[in-house]
Every structure is written in structure tokens, then in C-alpha cells.
Structure 1
Amino acid sequence: MELRHLRYFVMAAAEESISRAAARLNISQPAVSRQIRDLEEELGVPLFDRESSGLSLTEAGLAALPHAQELLRRAGDLKLAMEVFGKPVRKTLRVGFIETALPGFLASAMRVFNQRHDDVCIQIRSMPPLAQEKALREGEIDLALLGTPCPQLASEFRVEAIKKTPMAVVLPDDHLLSLRKSIDLSELANEPFVSLHEAQFPGRPVMLADLCGRAGFVADVRMKAAGLQEMLGLVAGGAGVGVLPMDVNLLPHTGVVFVKLRKPTLTLVSSAVWKRESETKELLDLIGLMKAPPASKGKK
């Protein structure tokens, strides 16, 4: 007894016709008839009553049908279970990123990377910088894409610059200075400020304090945000003004405008961070693609 005997029997029972079963199976009618007769001879009982109007199951056929269906189902399950062993195992590259990295350089690099490496699956997770550092240490991600990382990270991980971004002033779109092309930070000395929180963005509150100190005043920080979108929402809602990297304007920012910071100037460096012992050629290729100018990312 072979699976094809059972398959032909089940199809003929469903169609109640040898000719319709043959059409569904895409084989000749005599072949179906012959296989069903072979099955009946092996089982020692007739499975169908054959009449001019078509087929009907005998009492034995009615008893045999659910067994045949179950055997076919189990054979299908076996085939599915074995498929995974016939396919090449795909490697996984887990990447944590701050929100600006995706539209800034990660998405375009991934597009080219996926064309080159069909054996590697990139998984991405949007995470604030401190969460990325923790995930990297604990082996939950293979690569972290941060803003300017703390200098101490270089003693623990490999750190490589990806992109430089100047800082900009973030204002509500109804602010008196919102139509300006550039402003000095000192012009905002009497404004309330919104800052990113140290717990999620280490070093950013100190960076803001240093910038304002260079401009000759102490920032009146009224609120702190746990994320970039949260900070943009607070500025749009009138909670204060802020200072962010210019590439944050790649994110949706309804009610907010970005104005060039004329002085004091500051440039942040988006960086890739990874464990030395986890370095692979695929990881280095992705980093290289992120660093490449847009026009050259499609070249091999």
C-alpha cells in the first residue's frame, strides 16, 4: 500500500466520480481506476459501489475513509516537519537603534545588505541608548546604533563613527523665532527648556547644560522626556524649547520646527557599537554600508 493509493481513494470518495477525481489529480482516468482496484485487492474488500450515476462508498469504504484521511494528514505533517532540515539555516543579526538611525542610514543599508546576504536575517529593535548598552552587554543584540556614545564605552566595546550631525534648536511652530534660518542659543536664555532624560539618554542633560553655559546662561529645564518623539510632543505642546541633533527632523514632527544653531556649535556623531568577540564579516558589512554615501550603497 502506497500513499498514492490512499490519495486516489480519498479524492474519488470526495468527488463520487472517477473522471472528476482524475481531473482534480491531473492524471488519467484509467490510472485512478487501476490504483483504486489495487487498493481494494490489497485490503480484500470493495471500497465503492460502481453505478452508472457515479461512485458510492460501501460499508467498508465508509470505515476505511477516515483512516486514509488520517494517514495522509500525518504524511503531510511529516513532510512539513522535515522541511526545516532541508533549508539552509539563516543567521540572525540583531540590531538596536535610536529612532533617527532608521531613516538616516539604517533602512537604506539594510536594503542593500539583504540583497547581498540571503542567508542572514536582520532583526531591528528601537531602543533608547541606555537600553541598547544594557542589551549589548547581556547579549540580547549584536549591534547598537547610538548617538554620541559615552567615552567609557570604547574601553568595553568596538565603537565606530557612522554619521556626523549638527545640533539644532527645536521650537514650537508658533514661536516668534520659528521663521528664522538660524539663531544663537543665547536668544533663548529666558525660555523654558525641555531636555532628554539622563536615564534613557546618558550625557544629554550635561550636554545641554554645557551648551547653554557656553552661550552665557543656565537653562531653565522644566520637563524631561524619555524619548525623541515624547520630546517633540512636549515642544509642540508649548512646554518649552529644546536642542536636538538636526537629523531628528527626519521623524514626524507636527507643530515643531528645526532651526540651525549658529552658535555655540556642536556636532554629534552617530556610532555603531558592538562586542569585539561577536564581530562577524556580516556585521562589518552592514556597518560599512551604513557609513557609505547614499549614491554608493547599491554598488558591490
Structure 2
Amino acid sequence: MNQKQLAYFLTVYSEGSIQAAADKLYITRQGVSRSLRQLEEELAQPLFHRTANGITPTDFARSILPHVRQLLSEYDYIAGTQTLATQRRSVVTVYALDHIAAWLGADFFLAFAEAHPGITPSFIESTDQGAAEALAHGKGDFAITTPPFDTALFSSQTLFRTPFCVRLHQTHPLAQKDSLTIRDLAGETVAGKGRAYQCFREKIDRYLLAQGLACNILLESSDETLLTSLAAQNKAIILEHGYTASLVAHPSTVLRPITVGADDGVDICLLARRGQLPTQSARVFQQFLLTYLAAHPDDTASS
């Protein structure tokens, strides 16, 4: 089998029609059919039931679909790497909790480019768990995420500690407090990153819902502009990490620290996969990042 055959299979599967797939791929129907037959012969399994009313995928086709998507994704990654290689630049891929790159700021990336013009940092935003899983599957050089993570699989270095905080309208009764606890959110309308993020999910579940307290979760999103808009309209209290709160401001909202259980914050860590030999470019980026943060402990996101 080859990349073309898998791509044709995926397109036929998605379109539900050989003709529609051929039109989308700008090739003949016969070309698609021939590629499918070759793939079926190699796999010794039919991929589609062909009837007078069209085609439907077989159970075997459904079972291999996620693996085909993964393989084609890997092909695309390799092709992209090859394209970048022609520019005689190295790429350091970092799967990071969203908004980490914005928190580091433009000055960080400009300084890195000036110091190391032959290396391109490639930041891919993800959930906390997704970043670690991508690194575990060898998709990048580093992950930037929050604990807990598998210390047998990853080595880690703490980059900084970020507080838990809430963003709310300045007229909200809770805004009159200097600091809050998670129990203050009982009965309130809240929004935040949501259950896709381990930190948000674990804190809400353990310290609010499991205690028999309830809150109205209006929205789950990582879009800080949207969340800030909700707080500015006094429609929701936004539960977030301090580093993301520092990126968005609004004159009608205020920030308040919040204690969740016994924690007032969480560590943001740089993970590397144990047993994965780092490239020279990855080592350079890691050292530059650590040195830069040590020299700019308070003003990283000011740019």
C-alpha cells in the first residue's frame, strides 16, 4: 500500500461515493476504483459494500479508519519537514498548553531568532493532557504542560508557577473580596477551559461538584477573548490560569486569586521524553528558554 491509495480510501470513505471522491481528487472514477481494488487485494479484505444505491464501508474499513488518518498525518508531517529542510533550517517542535507562546511574547522569539537564525521553533497549542500524549508518541521535541505526568516516561523542568485566578466584572459581589476559594463559585455562572483540560476538570470535580455544591457552567472554551467578553458583560465568572489572565485585560473586569483545595496555583513544566535523544537544535532551544526565563522572571508577556 502507499500514500496515494490510503488518501483515495479516506476520501471515498468521507464522501460516501466513488464519483464524489473522484471529483474532489480531480481524477477519473476509474482511477479511484482501480486504486481501491489494489488496496483491497493487498489487504485481502473488502473495504466497501457496493450496491445499486451506492457504497457503504465495511466493518474492516471502519476499524482501520483511525489508523489510516494517523498514517496520512505522519506522511504530511514528514513532507512538511522535508520542505523546511530545503530552507537549511532546523525545526524544534513544542506541543504546549495553549497561550504559552503568547505568554512568552514576541521579544522571546525575536531574541531567539537573532541568537539562532538557523532554528525555527514550531509551537503547537494543545490541552494539558494532549501535549503530553503528543510527546509520548514522538511527535515533538518537547511538551509544555502541567502535572501530573508520567515521570517514568518524561523528564521535566519547572519553567514557572502560575496562580489560579478568576476574572469577573468589577460590580460582581465576589469582586469585593481580595481572594476567593473554590467554594465561592457555588451557585455562580462560570466559564473556563473545560473538561478537556485535566486541571480545570479535576479542580471543579473534586472541590466543587464532589462536595455537593453546584455551579452553572455556561461555556467551556480556551478562547480568552470570548471569555473576557463574558466577564465584561457580567455574564460569567472566568476560572483560569494566571498566565492566560495576564494576556487579556478589560477596564470593567478585575482579577482575583482563588484557592482550589490546598492549591493556589500550578507548575508549568517543560517535558522531554526519556530515551529520546535530543537533537542539537532541541538542546539549544531548551537552554535558551531556561536562560531567558531566568533573566526575565516578571515581564515575559509584556511584549
Q: Please tell me the TM-score bracket, short chain as reference.
A: 0.5 to 0.7
Q: Does residue 246 in structure 1 map to residue 242 in structure 2?
A: yes
Q: 1:164 aligns with which of 161, 164, 182?
A: 161
Per-residue Cα deviation, 1:48-72 (whole angstroms, up to 9, x for no partner): xxxxxxxxxxxxxxxxxxxxxxxxx
Q: Does residue 285 in structure 1 map to residue 287 in structure 2?
A: yes
Which one-letter code corresponds to 1:227 in the other structure? Answer: S
Q: 1:225 aligns with which of 204, 217, 220?
A: 220
How far apart are residue 155 of structure 1 and its match?
Answer: 2.5
Given the superposition, is the C-alpha separation of residues 162 and 219 from structure 1 closer, same or farther in structure 2, using an over 3 Å criterion?
A: farther
Q: Secondary structure at the match of 2:174?
A: coil
Per-residue Cα deviation, 1:196-244 (whole angstroms, up to 9, x for no partner): 3222x12421113334479x76242423413142544444454432432
Would you say the 8 A contact 1:162–1:290 is kept in 2? Answer: no
Structure-2 residue corresponding to 1:294: 296
Identity of aligned pairs, percent? 15
Given the superposition, is the C-alpha separation of residues 213 and 296 from structure 1 closer, same or farther in structure 2, using an over 3 Å criterion?
A: closer
RMSD over aligned Cα, in angstroms? Answer: 3.5
Q: Normalised by the size of structure 1, how large is the TM-score?
A: 0.57
Unaligned runs of 5+ in 1: 1-83
Given the superposition, is the C-alpha separation of residues 241 and 111 from structure 1 closer, same or farther in structure 2, using an over 3 Å criterion?
A: same
Given the superposition, is the C-alpha separation of residues 213 and 95 from structure 1 closer, same or farther in structure 2, using an over 3 Å criterion?
A: same
Per-residue Cα deviation, 1:52-109 (whole angstroms, up to 9, x for no partner): xxxxxxxxxxxxxxxxxxxxxxxxxxxxxxxx9xx98221112233344234336444
Q: Does residue 178 in structure 1 map to residue 180 in structure 2?
A: no
Q: 1:261 aligns with which of 242, 254, 258?
A: 258
Would you say the 8 A contact 1:142–1:278 is kept in 2? Answer: no
Within 5 Å, give how 1:26-41 maps onto structure 2: none
Would you say the 8 A contact 2:135–2:143 is kept in 1? Answer: yes
For residues 159 and 295 of structure 1, what CA distance do their matches in structure 2 show?
19
Given the superposition, is the C-alpha separation of residues 288 and 184 from structure 1 closer, same or farther in structure 2, using an over 3 Å criterion?
A: closer
Paired residues, what number?
208
Given the superposition, is the C-alpha separation of residues 107 and 131 from structure 1 closer, same or farther in structure 2, using an over 3 Å criterion?
A: farther
Structure-2 residue corresponding to 1:125: 124
Q: Does residue 136 in structure 1 map to residue 135 in structure 2?
A: yes
Per-residue Cα deviation, 1:145-192 (whole angstroms, up to 9, x for no partner): 22x23333x222222210011211222344123354333444443323
Structure-1 residue corresponding to 2:3: none
Which one-letter code corresponds to 2:291 in the other structure? Answer: L
Structure-1 residue corresponding to 2:79: none
Given the superposition, is the C-alpha separation of residues 224 and 263 from structure 1 closer, same or farther in structure 2, using an over 3 Å criterion?
A: closer
Q: Normalised by the size of structure 2, how large is the TM-score?
A: 0.56
Structure-1 residue corresponding to 2:112: 113
Compare CA radii of gyration and give the structure with the larger one. Answer: 1
